[in-house]
Amino acid sequence: MIRIQEILDKVSANNKNANLELIRHAYIYAATAHAGQTRLSGEPYLSHPLAVASTLAEMGFDEPTVAAGLLHDTVEDTKATIEEIDENFGEDVADIVDGVTKISMIPFENKEEAQAENIRKMILAMSHDMRVLMVKLADRLHNMQTLDFQKAHKQRRIAQETMDIYAPLANRLGLNVLKRRLEDLSFKYLRPDIYNQIDHWLDTHQVVEKHIIDKVVDLIRDLLTSNAIEGQVYGRIKHKYSIYKKMQSQSL
């Protein structure tokens, strides 16, 4: 389980003057509120808000956002109220927690493309503070990372919801790394047969592919330097879902 000090260290690395006491207070409050609760994995429930807060701290978000990550399930899953959150942590944190709680209550029954777009618009409209979406996306990421402990039909439902709603939202917000992680995790449960084939191929060929990419990157950098052109060059192996989409387009 992630330790609170790891989160505080990440926040401090981004802001030497950060209000760490707000985050410590949120941790103690969340630990008390979730005391005795466990996840399907058997871990203490607190492991989830700690993981969410850690992701937010890693992404460089401010103290109210990280604190809200620690508190995001307290109103929905414990006896805590928004009024208490407001009183203890201020309006900013309370507004974020309230927004995440309301998004969690939206029904996701119809997954048709047009309906998915309507739901994305609804979530964006509800999130007058973009930090609400950041917390919700970090929440969904950890839920997807621990989806093995759910029953098969729930795995597919949650994965489809993530692919239809949350990965496109991350993309719309320019969070490409988060989008790719959500897509790959969803793909793992929606098409496990193809996912495993691609995963095995990458394990077998990854070293060679990385070597080729590094050589091409070095070549382009040398060309830029020799022509006195400033620029950044990087390369990466496509993520698993992107490889699958490429395979689909080539088979048409």
Q: CA-to-CA distance for 196 and 120, rounded, in angstroms? A: 30
- Whether the predicted pLDDT of 207 surpasses 90: no
pLDDT at 106: 82
Instruction: Examine the domain organization and report whether 153 and 213 are in the same domain.
Output: no
Q: Greater confidence, 23 or 209? A: 23
Q: Same domain for 11 and 128?
A: yes
Question: Each residue of 209-241: pLDDT tens digit?
Answer: 665 667 676 778 777 788 888 877 665 667 888
Q: What is the CATH number of the domain that holds 107?
A: 1.10.3210.10
pLDDT value of position 18: 96
Inter-residue contact 163 to 183 (CB < 8 Å): yes
Catalytic residue among 77, 84, 129, 161: 77
Active site residue 76: yes
Percentage of residues in the chain with pLDDT exceeding 90?
67
Based on the domain organization, do 99 and 111 belong to the same domain?
Answer: yes
Per DSSP, helices labelled H in the chain are 4-14, 20-33, 47-58, 63-71, 74-77, 82-89, 91-104, 113-126, 130-145, 152-161, 167-172, 176-190, 192-226, 240-251
Candidate from 21-35, 65-79, 103-117 with smallest mean pLDDT: 103-117
What average pLDDT score do residues 58-76 get? 97
219 with 162, same domain? no
Task: Choose one of 190, 225, 243: the last residue of a domain.
Answer: 190
**Count of structural domains, the chain:** 2
Q: Both 207 and 110 in a single domain?
A: no
- As a whole number, mean pLDDT of residues 57-79 equals 97
Q: Are residues 128 and 247 in the same domain?
A: no
Does residue 22 sit in the same domain as residue 137?
yes
* 45-to-12, 34, 37, 139, 149 alpha-carbon distances in Å: 25, 6, 5, 13, 14
Q: Which of 172, 190, 208 is the C-terminal boundary of a domain? A: 190
> Domain span at residue 235?
194-251
161 and 218 together in one domain? no
185 and 198, same domain (yes or no) = no
pLDDT for res 226: 84
Q: Could you report the per-residue pLDDT of 101-112, keeping only the tens digit for each?
A: 999 888 776 556
* pTM, 2 dp: 0.84
Average confidence (pLDDT) over 31-48:
97
| 205 and 180 fall within a common domain | no
Q: How much is the pLDDT for 250?
A: 66
110 shares a domain with 175: yes
Q: How confident is the model at residue 252 (pLDDT cuts 50, 70, 90)?
A: low
Q: 220 versus 207: which is more confidently predicted?
A: 220
| Higher-pLDDT residue of 112, 16 | 16
Q: How far apart are CA 107 and CA 213, in angstroms?
A: 44
167 has a pLDDT exceeding 70: yes
The per-residue pLDDT for 210 is: 64
Q: Do 40 and 119 lie in a common domain? A: yes
Give the active site residue among 6, 9, 76, 83: 76
How does DSSP classify residue 239? P
Mean pLDDT of the chain: 89
